[in-house]
């Protein structure tokens, strides 16, 4: 006869089903301001649902396809089982060599050590964030330009570091005034962030400014971070400088490059950092805590891209130039004081005086009236709140539609406050 043993497994009725709720997220995360682009997405959705079609000149997402040479290379590389393993943390030697060769051909940087002074990245945003995590302590300061690419401020906040905002003002050609940074701030500062050609203003940094920044970083024991994401998007013969074209920079600097803009590869997530080997090591250490490096097949795409940059990049830039040359005179005719940017793919414009200090309200008004989407300057810091950004990542036909809608709604720079 079979003996029935008492079960030791608790039945459902014996499990305590009390739900205490989830823990609070870290203070640093919950205190992060809402990403303005996320807020805009909600607004865009609401406007669409109200039956208005959108003409989106807001995001900085390149609209042209990745060149076919790069796509074909990556497609073959994806099929190759050798690329199916975890990538090496420091990337493929062939890719690192291509980076060093590009820096030599394009910027004249000689003797860059592809093993110690080059780091492949899953997009430059990842690298900038990891560098900030690698350097900042809770009580240290990050010198952030204001106007900024949001990751500068957000990554600083995540490690409870303190951003010190250096205003980028029109009267200073959108360059920060390094001499205005107080001594007590400098004593705690570790990183000095710069981004030229600049997002959102499209302005460039002259050589004298870079020379000053390198000298300043050396003198104050700072890491100079040059974000060169738009380094290849330049017009009228202008060739943006690498920070390493400045003497003494290799002692203190790191520079971030992106394939997103240069080769229309935003969706593939690829970038690289070059610079001082000690600084690269700090970036590497932070990175290896978080990720496994760049997909091998995408690195092969990056290698062919860099090795063919001289032929692949000019048609991409020519298309942006065509758009810039269409849009700037149109906006001038509507009363906007609009300078031709020499780099990047943005126009940085003042909000109409009746919306002064209220860039979000202006953007909301424009979108609801016309369906035209632009980015409020506030997205780049409070120093941007009198401005808005227009992206050139749509074809001329779309830009024409935007201008047509502005004209039909009688929207121009000197317009009166709508009732």
Shortest Cβ 230–ligand PLP spacing (Å): 7
Q: Scan residues 216-275 and list those touching ligand PLP (CB under 6 A).
A: 227, 229, 258, 260, 266, 271
Cα 260 vs. chain centroid, distance in angstroms? 10
Q: End-to-end alpha-carbon separation of the chain, Å? A: 91
DSSP sequence for 261-285 = HHSS-GGG--EEEEE-HHHHHHHHH
Cβ-proximal residues to 239 (8 Å cutoff; 6+ apart), any chain: none
66 near ligand PLP (CB under 6 A) = no
Which residues are bridge partners to 402 per DSSP? none
Shortest Cβ 124–ligand PLP spacing (Å): 4
Shortest Cβ 59–ligand PLP spacing (Å): 9
> Which part of the chain contacts ligand PLP (CB under 6 A), choosing from 117-125, 283-291, 334-342, 353-361?
117-125
> Which part of the chain contacts ligand PLP (CB under 6 A), choosing from 1-9, 103-111, 119-127, 135-143?
119-127
Nearer to ligand PLP, 73 or 258 (CB): 258
Q: Pick from 125, 324, 350, 405: which binds ligand PLP (CB under 6 A)?
A: 125
Are 92 and 299 in contact, with CB atoms under 8 Å apart?
yes
Q: For residues 229 and 124, what is the distance between their CA atoms, to the nearest angstrom? A: 7
Element (H, E) at 302: helix 296-307
Nearer to ligand PLP, 25 or 267 (CB): 267
> Which part of the chain contacts ligand PLP (CB under 6 A), choosing from 22-30, 121-129, 296-304, 333-341?
121-129
Strands 223-227 and 253-258: parallel
Q: Pick from 73, 146, 195, 303: which binds ligand PLP (CB under 6 A)?
A: 195
Nearer to ligand PLP, 131 or 411 (CB): 131
Are 241 and 207 in contact, with CB atoms under 8 Å apart?
yes
Nearer to ligand PLP, 229 or 366 (CB): 229
Residue of 159, 155, 148, 218 lying closest to 26 (CA atoms): 159
Q: For residues 372 and 361, what is the distance between their CA atoms, to the nearest angstrom? A: 14
Nearer to ligand PLP, 284 or 355 (CB): 284
Q: Scan residues 135-194 and list those touching ligand PLP (CB under 6 A).
A: 149
Q: For residues 179 and 148, what is the distance between their CA atoms, to the nearest angstrom? A: 19
Shortest Cβ 34–ligand PLP spacing (Å): 18
Considering just the CA atoms, what is the radius of gyration of the chain in Å?
24
73 near ligand PLP (CB under 6 A) = no
Q: For residues 38 and 196, what is the distance between their CA atoms, to the nearest angstrom? A: 25
60 near ligand PLP (CB under 6 A) = yes
Contact set with ligand PLP (CB under 6 A):
60, 123-125, 149, 195, 199, 227, 229, 258, 260, 266, 271
């Amino acid at each position: 006869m079979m003996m029935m043993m008492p079960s030791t497994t608790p039945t459902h009725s014996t499990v305590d089903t009390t739900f205490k709720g989830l823990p609070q997220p870290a203070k640093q995360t919950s205190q992060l301001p809402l990403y303005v682009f996320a807020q805009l997405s909600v607004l865009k959705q609401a406007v669409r649902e109200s039956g208005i079609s959108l003409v989106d000149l807001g995001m900085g997402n390149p609209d042209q396809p990745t060149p076919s040479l790069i796509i074909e290379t990556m497609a073959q590389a994806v099929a190759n089982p050798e690329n199916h393993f975890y990538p090496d943390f420091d990337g493929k030697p062939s890719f690192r060599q291509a980076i060093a060769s590009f820096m030599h051909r394009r910027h004249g940087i000689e003797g860059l050590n592809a093993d110690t002074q080059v780091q492949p990245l899953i997009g430059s945003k990842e690298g900038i964030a990891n560098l900030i995590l690698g350097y900042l302590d809770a009580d240290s300061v990050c010198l952030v330009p204001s106007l900024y690419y949001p990751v500068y401020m957000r990554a600083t906040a995540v490690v409870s570091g303190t951003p010190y905002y250096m205003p980028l003002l029109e009267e200073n050609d959108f360059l920060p005034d390094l001499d205005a940074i107080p001594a007590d701030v400098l004593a705690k500062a570790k990183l000095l962030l710069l981004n030229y050609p600049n997002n959102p203003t499209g302005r460039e940094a002259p050589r004298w400014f870079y020379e000053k920044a390198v000298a300043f970083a050396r003198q104050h024991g700072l890491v100079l971070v040059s974000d060169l994401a738009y380094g290849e998007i330049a017009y009228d013969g202008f060739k943006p400088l690498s920070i390493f074209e400045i003497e003494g920079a290799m002692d203190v600097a790191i520079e971030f490059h992106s394939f997103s803009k240069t080769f229309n590869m935003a969706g593939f997530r690829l970038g690289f950092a070059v610079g001082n080997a000690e600084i690269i090591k700090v970036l590497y250490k932070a990175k290896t805590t978080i990720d496994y490096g760049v997909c091998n097949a995408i690195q092969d795409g990056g290698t062919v891209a860099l090795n063919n940059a001289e032929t692949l990049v000019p048609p991409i830039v020519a298309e942006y130039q065509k758009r810039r040359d269409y849009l700037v005179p149109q906006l001038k005719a509507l009363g906007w004081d609009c300078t031709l940017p020499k780099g990047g793919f943005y126009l940085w414009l003042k909000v109409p005086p009746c919306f002064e200090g209220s860039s979000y309200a202006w953007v909301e008004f424009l979108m609801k009236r016309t369906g035209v989407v632009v980015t409020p300057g506030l997205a780049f810091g409070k120093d941007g709140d009198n401005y808005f950004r227009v992206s050139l990542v749509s074809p001329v036909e779309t830009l024409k539609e935007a201008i047509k809608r502005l004209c039909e709604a009688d929207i121009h720079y000197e317009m009166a406050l709508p009732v």
